[in-house]
Structure 1
Amino acid sequence: MDQHAPAHKEAAYELVESYGFYKLVRARASGRYYVSWYDAEQRQTRRSSLRTNKSSVAHEKMRFLADLCVTGDPTEYLNKKQVTTVAELLDDAWENYLQKLPSAEAAGVARDILKREMGDKRLAALVLRDYDGFRDLLTAQEKSIGYVSRILSVLRSSANRALENKQTTVKLKVPEYQPRSKKKGLKKKGPLLTCQEIAAIIDEINDLHLLLLVVLLIHLGARVGAILDAIKAQIDLEQNLFDLNPPGRETTNKGRPVLPIPATLRPWLEDLPDGPLITYRGVAIAEADTGFNSAVVRSKIGPKANTYSIRHSLSRYMRKQRVDLEEIGIYLGHGNHDPETETTLIYCPWEPEYLENCREAAEAFVREINKHTRKWDLLRPYCVKPSYVEN
């Protein structure tokens, strides 16, 4: 990197084109391309080699930086392996994570098929017609729509990962060809429960760590794994936000959103110690199904409920409260939004109305459950109701 080029050597570089914060320049002597920018702190122009003499490659790299909207030293982004075609995307995904999956064999088959039929296509140029053509090609080979959907899911997950890793700025919109009838027929992972039934389960909880877990579930509607992974650092009481995705964890399709903290949950969070939220004898626990299922059995509510039942019951309650479906989807972590733009704007802490309807519905849900609990007062952390008499 040329950090200290004296002024009299400036003529050694010719300006090719400006890309916002950066400029594309070319060394007159070697023909090599560089990205140039002004370092205000050091009060000097700096350059970093693009490692190419090809104009098309240089412009591609500059467009990549511009699309990322980065400023300052771009070396970190230039060192990333950029992927521009389907083949490059899939090869990188295979090298870094697909081959490590339990389903690596199936992922390898999907990669080979996608590379054979779409490998030379540029990610930025893919349109619905390309996906439809791929679907028609496989169905003509008597492959089922479900098979097509599974193959394309590998492309979708690979593209999402590359976007998260800033190896591309293209957000692929890979269509889902699974029949709507099949989606409608999917069974919920846990039966719906009434507020009375949830209250009955809570009253049969004896361990305080399990009580806190269920209190978090009825407020946030999160998957139980997200709660078990959660640490105190994910809670921002100043901004009143709870980030369900722990630091360092890669974002996946099973979204873990940033949620506003309901007023009824805040007292449970204020005095938590640093580290994992759910611990037993000072150690984080790996699963909670055993304890929860035991409470369900003791409650004698009838249906075989599980922790997913709470997630489904909260979402149904929100719908009854006329909360918009898109807002519910974002709250539950499967809203269809662009993580690079729309979500960032929604999550800004200076937007007090962020998911306000869901937050208010969650509070109402908890208050309704609390009307039916005999033992635990959900509005006062770890407190037993004065009227409770143990049988």
Structure 2
Amino acid sequence: MPRPNRGPYLAFVRDRGRWYIQWSEAGRTRQLSTGTDDSAAAQIALAQFIQERERATRPAGPRDPSQFSIDDALTLYGTEHAPHAADPQRIGYAIAALAPFWAGRAVGDVTRETCRAYARERGKAPGTIRRELATLRAAINYAKDEGRITYAPTVHLPPKPEGKDRWLRRSEAAALLNAARTGHATTRPYLPLFILIALHTGARKGAILELRWPQVDLEAGRIDFNPPGRQRTSKGRAHLPIPRRLLTFLRLARRRGTDLGYVVHRDGARLDNMKRAFNTACSDAGLDDVTPHTLRHTCGTWLAQAGVPLDKIGGWLGHSDARTTQLYAHHHPDFMEDARNAVDRRRA
């Protein structure tokens, strides 16, 4: 019995170091290079390839979800929406994670049980699964909005995990900085600066790695984490006065930079991923359960412990929702003070 045609798919050709699109046509296997070794970029190339093939056979009018493949939904979203999104790379990585499980399934196959099966097969943290399935949901909704399907089935996300309250004490932050400064020669030029910026400003990793010198006004002492032309999203980015200690380190870093270059860089190039360098520094410092986002939470916690009002903490961190800032309320020295005073008066 002949094997069913699985359609175009990605295969990594090791001797060429590239991802290739492969498909069967007239009983023969065809190949087309994506020109990249990055899996997320290859998924986008595959999506564009499938979209071009699909255009020729697309029936007029919206289809029932059972007649529209998830591959097509992800392709449509990845090629038409992602390039104009604030973080297209994040969408690309989510599509790359979603594609293997959902390949060959129709949009109508999305149920609570298949969403649970995806989570089991991925074996990742609930927060990761939630973000990936949110991308699937966005892709399906986009297909409906574009008139490709008659309705959008519900994508069942796992519950939103509670925010971690892991933050660094001053001694832990000092140990991490020391480990970064005495680490590998290739990471010493950028990792300590990244940590300092994150601890002083509370900016997200992506905002720091995208930061260029035109966004830093050393004379006025201001830093704007919103690059020109960036689409504003729910993940706000702040425009801040630069703390004096950080200003000193930024002035030193500026001597090594270029007028339009990245503030945190490796030999002038943008850092896409610094996970290994950061994890090594954490290990050398004896720190567990610490990620770059922990530095952002540490900044907010230190501000709360110093008695800074919650609304100002929210502004400093770029929160768009005041409920997010409430995460720091219990660190504030006045937390529950009114309640305690009321209890004390009642006992008197």
Relative to the length of structure 1, the TM-score reads 0.41
Between Structure 1 and Structure 2, which shows a larger proportion of helix residues?
A: 2
Relative to the length of structure 2, the TM-score reads 0.46
Larger Rg: 1
